[in-house]
Amino acid sequence: GWVKIVEVGPRDGLQNEKTLVPTEVKIHLIDMLSEAGLPVIEATSFVSPEWVPQMADQVEVMKGINRRPGVSYPVLTPNLKGFQAAVKAGAAEVAIFGAASELFSKKNINCSVDESLQRFEEVTKAAKEAGVRVRGYVSCVLGCPYEGQVSPDKVAQVAKRLYSMGCYEISLGDTIGVGTPGGMAELLEAVSREVPVDALAVHCHDTYGQALANILIALQMGISVVDSSVAGLGGCPYAQGASGNVATEDVVYMLHGLGIQTGVDLPKLMDAGAFICRSLNRKTSSKVAQATCKL
């Protein structure tokens, strides 16, 4: 089998780290990740620097990276304005973020889920005209920091809307990492009734150590696209000191051990992880990187 890994370290990861890194470091990280064989690398975000100062160098990053043929470098775009800026800066793929929880949507982007989807429809329409691919994300698919339990049907509805408006792929995010394999199975059953499973991806957080088990169940259910973050960059903003994104190295280790191909060169990936951790002056969150067993 084959699994596509969507590397979110340079955007989702760095955006949620306390330390800011200079533009050259971001560019070098992305280049190293390209070298490591990742087919999709989320490069930056065109959300206003007023809200996300860590991504203020968005244009510089887009211009500075060395684009490897066959690799996609999607960027976040919250609205039409961001989309236009992204395309102007050379983006060939964009991403939009919906949520499965009304409270989360209100707190995060100050509008209801429905209002956000209407806003996104403007983006997908413009993207279609410009021939730019759009990836959709749904947050809080297995639980919300404000609402608690989230209904799988609600997630399915939001995923369906994103798919209908033109997203080629929908990434389902366990934003606070509370999900367990049973909940993941239930969720995927509900969503795959509305959206074809090969248009779905999972974005698991490892806040409660459940990510790899959740990913494994997702694979068993036909999912073949997995989001992860090199070195497990990006803590959980809702749980102090807790981890967030699952580490790409750990995901790749499991997939390769299962005989699944990813195109990723694990040693080169670990080099990229070591580089960014040095730059951030932090220890890696990847267990594979921490292990130095001589096998």
Parallel, antiparallel or unpaired: strands 4-7 and 169-174: unpaired
Q: How many angstroms from the chain centroid is the CA of residue 58?
A: 17
Beta-sheet strand order (sheet of 169-174): 40-41, 4-7, 225-228, 200-204, 169-174, 133-139, 93-99, 75-76, 44-45
How far is the C-alpha of 257 from the C-alpha of 260, rounded, in Å?
7
**CB within 8 A of 73, min separation 6: which ones?**
30, 40, 41, 42, 43, 62, 65, 67, 91, 92, 93
Residue 279 interacts with a second copy (CB under 8 A): yes or no: no
Any catalytic annotation for residue 236? yes
Considering the candidates 140, 144, 236, 277, report the single residue annotated as catalytic.
236
In whole angstroms, the minimum distance from the beta carbon of 197 to a second copy comes to 13
Rounded least distance, CB 258 to a second copy, Å:
4
Distance of closest approach, residue 245 Cβ to a second copy, in angstroms: 13
Nearer to a second copy, 133 or 287 (CB): 287
Q: What is the nearest approach in angstroms of a second copy to the Cβ of residue 294?
A: 7
The answer to whether residue 291 forms part of the interface with a second copy (CB under 8 A) is yes
Give whichever of 60 and 147 is closer to a second copy, judged by the CB atom.
147
Question: Which is closer to a second copy, CB of 281 or CB of 292?
Answer: 292
Q: Does 18 bind a second copy (CB under 8 A)?
A: no
Tokens 């509900």 map to which residue? 190
Tokens of 274: 């070591």
Of 20 and 258, the one with the shorter C-beta distance to a second copy is 258
151 near a second copy, judged by CB under 8 A: no
| Contact track, a second copy, 97-126, x by CB under 8 A | ------------------------------
Q: How near is the Cβ of 217 to a second copy at its closest, in Å?
A: 6
Q: Answer whether 37's CB lies under 8 Å from 264's CB.
A: yes
Cα→Cα distances 232→180, 187, 271, Å:
19, 24, 14
Q: Please report whether residue 293 would count as binding a second copy according to CB under 8 A.
A: yes
For residue 252, how far is the Cα from the chain centroid?
15
The rounded distance, in Å, linking the Cα atoms of 149 and 141 is 9
Closest CA to 226 of 195, 253, 193, 207: 253
Q: Would you give the binding string for a second copy spanning residues 201-240, x where CB under 8 A is met?
A: -----xxxxx-xx-xxx-xxx--------------x-xxx
Burial of 67 (0-12, 13-18, 19+ CB in 10 A): middle
Residue placing its CB nearer to a second copy in the complex, 128 or 256: 256
Residues in touch with a second copy (CB under 8 A)? 143, 145, 148, 176-183, 185, 206-210, 212-213, 215-217, 219-221, 236, 238-243, 247, 250, 253-254, 256-259, 286-288, 290-295
Q: Which residues form the catalytic set?
A: 236
